[in-house]
Amino acid sequence: MAALKICHSAGPPDGTPGCAPHKKPPPPLDRQSALFLDVDGTLIEIASRPELVQVPRQLAALLDRLARQRDGALAVISGRPVADLDRLLSPWRGAAAGLHGAERRRPDGSAASSDPDPQDADAAAALQWLRPRLAELAGATPGVWLEDKGRTLALHYRAVPERGGEMRDLVARLAEEAGGRLRLIAGKMVLELQSEAYGKGRAIAAFLAEAPFRGRRAVFLGDDTTDEDGFAEVNRRGGLAIRVGAPSATTAASWTLDSVAAVLEWLAADGDA
């Protein structure tokens, strides 16, 4: 049986744990950079359920300006499916990685494909085994609900945060029993299971291997544990990793922005220039 990998916040660029980020905003955004943006908690305020989010009115226009300034070198990197991102960010429809990189679309609209990964097949079988068991757990636990994204499963407990530790233990045990190659990502009031074959760091690396991202300094903004492997990848390349929200003592990000509003203000300072 493959060991379940539980993803906590990644370490800093030098690999040692417990690196506190700078408690100040990042430097001005460079138009020669490749810009990678998480969505929920970074561009859009988190809601009690994903379908209830409120999208800032000028967000699509801002993304369009920032992408054009970089000849298309801007991508949103999210745990949501790409189709969901298109619905939220319409009419903007640029480069995107959905489901933590299991889906990826280039700036020209073409879908990126790769050879099947055996880990992904093992994970798919494990997720299929877990699906009814997690649904049963959610149904038996008031305030907990299961979001089935197809290639990932996310158990939300935002309505009952006091049960987070209990839910994590139960989900970890079930995932071990499933025996697949899964990552258990403990995010903000959510426990998400996905194939080890994917991750935001890998998605960023794939974009940076292609035009128009290739050769540019990477900048990645995110707010949660699911973004930590993206921060680590950007750091490895000498880029700029920015954590949104309260600084974490264990984040790999080197800079912080206090809120979604601060992110939009920082991005707009470049987009309006």
Q: Degrees (nearest 5) of the Cα angle 238, 244, 249?
A: 75
One-letter identity of residue 247 = P
Q: Does residue 252 carry a pLDDT above 60?
A: yes
14 has pLDDT over 70: no
Q: Which residue numbers are catalytic?
A: 38
pLDDT in tens, 70-106: 999 999 999 999 999 999 999 999 999 999 999 999 9
In the chain, the domains with their CATH numbers are 9-113+199-271 (3.40.50.1000), 118-195 (3.30.70.1020)
* Contact of 8 with 231, CB cutoff 8 Å: no
End-to-end CA, the chain:
54
Is the confidence at residue 236, as pLDDT, over 60? Answer: yes
Helix (H, G, I), strand (E, B) or coil at 81: coil
CA distance 273 to 256: 22
pLDDT score of 118 more than 70: no
pLDDT exceeds 50 at position 171? yes
Task: Locate 183 and state its tokens.
Answer: 């990552």
User: 227 burial class (0-12, 13-18, 19+ CB within 10 angstroms)?
Assistant: buried
- Region 146-167: mean pLDDT is 92
Residue 146's alpha-carbon distances to 26, 118, 193, 203, 220, in angstroms, are 36, 26, 11, 25, 28
Question: In the prediction, which pLDDT does 121 show?
Answer: 82
Cα–Cα distance measured from residue 80 to residue 27, given in angstroms and rounded to the nearest whole number: 29
**Mean pLDDT (whole number) for 123-139:** 94
Taking only the tens place, the pLDDT of each residue in 3-12 is 443 333 333 3
